[in-house]
Amino acid sequence: VQLQASGGGLVQAGGSLRLSCAASGFTLDYYNIGWFRQAPGKEREGVSYISMRGASTYYSDSVKGRFTLSTDKVKNTVYLQMNSLKHEDTAVYYCAASDRTFYGSDYEEPQRYEYWGQGTLVTVSS
């Protein structure tokens, strides 16, 4: 079971990036998928989440209206489209997966996820 996050880079404020989270060894559609980010000196925070089979999605207040999740079942990949990027979006972004049943706000908790990608760095210049 592996997750491969990619798509990070350097972008100016107001620009866009699309992150990818490709899975191998399992079918993403049967897992809860979360995107987290961690800025230097800060705790890892939840950014966005999609439940098994895409039944529900969640966006943190800080990215709502700017970030959008999508899935490609054929490619077994989840995407995070990030628009109107701000300097404060600068962080290492991680995707994570869990086949456990989530309750309440479990999706916000990094410890609820068993599988993690390696992270991809997003740098937004102001």
Query: What's residue 93's pLDDT?
Result: 98
CA-wise closest residue to 67 among 91, 100, 31: 91
Strands 77-82 and 17-24: antiparallel
| DSSP percent split of the chain into helix, strand, coil, nearest 5 | 10, 50, 40
Phi (first) and psi of residue 88, to 5 degrees: -70, -5
The model's pLDDT over 50-71, given as tens digits with 9 standing for 90+, comes to 998 888 999 999 999 999 999 9
The model's pLDDT over 87-125, given as tens digits with 9 standing for 90+, comes to 999 999 999 999 999 988 899 999 999 999 999 999 999
